[in-house]
Amino acid sequence: MSEANNYNALLDKLSLQVSSFQEGFRILTESKSLKDIGKNFVHLLRGNLLVSDINLFQKRNENDEWKELYLQKPDSAEFINNLKTSEALNLNFEEELDYKVFATLRCIDNSYFGLIVGNKIDKTKFNSLDAITLQIFIRLLDNAYQTYVASIREKNLIFSLNHKVLQLNSLVDTGIEISKLENNTQLLELALERAVALTNASKGIMRIIRDDKVIATLRLPSTIDVAETLKSKDKIETQVDYRGYSYIVTLVDKESRSGTETFDNTDEILLTAFARQVHSAVENKELHREALENETIKKELSVASTIQKRIIPETLPEIEGYDLAGINISSKEVGGDFYDCRVLENGKIAMIMADVAGKGIPASLLVSSLSASLNAYLEMNIPLDELGAKLNKMIYNASTADKFITCYISILTPSTGELDIINAGHNPSLHLRKEKKLEKIEAGGVAFGMFDMGLPYQGEKRVIEKGERILMFTDGIPEAMNENEEEYSDERLEKFCVDNCFHSSDKFINELVADVRSFTKDTPQSDDITALYLIRK
């Protein structure tokens, strides 16, 4: 047969196989896994070449070991050294060996297929048509593998894009979620969980540090050894500082399907973003807490102010033969000072000056209790030392250990000017006698509510003569401070009393306040200013 005839015969035979090649390509490209590709390839080739066994191997790169992909005869692996790789398709026919065909194919991803083919079933030699058929099927395998690799890349790309969307979405969600959490530990735990998960870290640690000491450590998973985990070389770390606290977040061992890999820039950006969210959330929570606290204080002071206003008299009684004026200026919205002047049923006048330790509602309630008790006891006309003991017991029982009241009580008999006085730890009142002689009224006793030991309250009796004056006050006046933290002082107050003994009671009180203000200037008032001024005309 001539060479032309040979070619024509070959072409005729190949033409008959075209549909078989097309079907083969369809089957190979529709294979769902690499193993399926190998299995389908072997079956297709076996049917087309009519050979006893076909064995397919693969290696990931030039230097890798051959691994079986689909074997019909395990002993074929013994001939693996006959697989010689090259850039191009390498196809060798070996007449003398048990296996007759050895082929290798370099793939698109630089991996290799290795093919070891046994004898033909009819024991005939491989001919030109077989060689061409074999080459065509190996090319089909190559194309199918390219499709497979492309589909894997496409899947990975979609997965990766979805993961980026997830990272962004989670970053936004986490910011919102942690801002809603009341509990700081929950907030930090959630942030750590998200940072670990979204960077594919295997472990995560958050250490909270104050004054160079670790005061708390959060771990994910919760059972990991912190010291051991921090020794890892594959880690990223970030730190945020807020009001003396440092939050150090460490992510360890980035995972991949094949083990671990190195954290990349995106991971570091994500970690920093989570850390910033933690900073913002902690800061917002702190500011919110402070705002609530300020609001609570404002409300408390407002309530206390209402209580105080109800128990401090709006007007003082007119006492025939006397000129009386009083004032109370609270340092904040409300203080713990209190004064009162009331006409008793027996015609006597009770004048009270008190100062509670503390401010706000507790102080006001204590003053309120004192005022109510005084109302009851004063009308009982009991001796003042006995009254003092009763008030002490009542205040002691009604207050906490840090609360007590200093109190000055004097009962005036208007017709005679007689004064019956007790002083429970309060500033001595000043009695300006005629000819500008100033006396301190030192009647003694401990502050109400300080002790419940039956300590006596020794009263004092004295007379205010016509033209004489008495100033009752709280420590807010002598202890008022200027910008140099100097006090107005008892001495200046006593001098003021002597120097201003010609004013009416109203005028005296106003001048006294003006003098205190001229001393303190712009320094904020640190304590209540309270005074009662009595002149016997």
Q: Which of these, 430, 512, 524, lies nearest to 481 by C-alpha position?
A: 524
Q: How is residue 109 annotated by DSSP?
A: T
Q: Total residues contacting other proteins (rule CB under 8 A)?
A: 29
Tell me how far apart the alpha carbons of residues 454 and 392 are, in angstroms, rounded to a whole number. Answer: 9
Query: Is 193 a binder of other proteins (CB under 8 A)?
Result: yes
Binding segment toward other proteins, per CB under 8 A, in 217-225, 233-241, 500-508, 517-525:
217-225
Query: Is 180 a binder of other proteins (CB under 8 A)?
Result: no
Task: Give the CA count within 13 Å in the CB-facing half-sphere of 317.
Answer: 15
Query: Is 218 a binder of other proteins (CB under 8 A)?
Result: yes
Least separation in angstroms between CB 65 and other proteins: 23
464 by Cβ neighbours in 10 Å (0-12 / 13-18 / 19+) ranks as buried
* Cα–Cα–Cα angle for 519, 520, 524, rounded to 5 degrees: 165
- Two tokens, residue 469: 């004056």
Query: Is 209 a binder of other proteins (CB under 8 A)?
Result: no
Residue number with CB closer to other proteins (69 or 316)? 69
Query: Is 32 a binder of other proteins (CB under 8 A)?
Result: yes
Query: Is 527 a binder of other proteins (CB under 8 A)?
Result: no
11 φ, ψ to 5°? Answer: -65, -40
Q: Which of residues 130, 189, 267, 323 is near other proteins by CB under 8 A?
A: 189
Q: Which of residues 18, 158, 215, 344 is near other proteins by CB under 8 A?
A: 158
Q: Do residues 174 and 157 touch, judged by C-beta distance below 8 A?
A: no
How many helices and strands in the chain, by DSSP H and E? 10, 20
Binding segment toward other proteins, per CB under 8 A, in 250-258, 398-406, 411-419, 519-527:
250-258
Query: Is 166 a binder of other proteins (CB under 8 A)?
Result: yes
Residue number with CB closer to other proteins (188 or 312)? 188
The structure tokens 């007590």 sit at 404
Query: Is 257 a binder of other proteins (CB under 8 A)?
Result: yes
Binding segment toward other proteins, per CB under 8 A, in 13-21, 99-107, 251-259, 376-384:
251-259
Query: Is 363 a binder of other proteins (CB under 8 A)?
Result: no
134 φ, ψ to 5°? Answer: -60, -45
Please list, residue by residue across 385-421, b when 16 or more beta carbons sit within 10 angstroms of its beta carbon and e when fewer do.
eebbbbbbebbbeebeeebbbbbbbbbbeeeebebbb
Query: Is 279 a binder of other proteins (CB under 8 A)?
Result: no
CA distances from 482 to 476, 519, 522 (A): 13, 6, 8
Residue number with CB closer to other proteins (159 or 242)? 159
Q: Which of residues 13, 120, 219, 462 is near other proteins by CB under 8 A?
A: 219
Cβ atoms < 10 Å from Cβ of 366: 25
Tell me how far apart the alpha carbons of residues 392 and 386 are, in angstroms, rounded to a whole number. Answer: 10
Least separation in angstroms between CB 270 and other proteins: 12
Query: Is 197 a binder of other proteins (CB under 8 A)?
Result: yes
The DSSP bridge partners found for residue 531 are: 327, 473
Residues between 100 and 139 with contacts to other proteins, criterion CB under 8 A:
none
Query: Is 173 a binder of other proteins (CB under 8 A)?
Result: yes
Residue number with CB closer to other proteins (261 or 293)? 261
Tell me how far apart the alpha carbons of residues 291 and 300 are, in angstroms, rounded to a whole number. Answer: 14
Residue number with CB closer to other proteins (162 or 397)? 162
Question: What residue ranges bind other proteins (CB under 8 A)?
Answer: 32, 158-159, 162-163, 165-166, 169-170, 173, 189, 193-194, 196-198, 200-202, 218-223, 255-257, 259
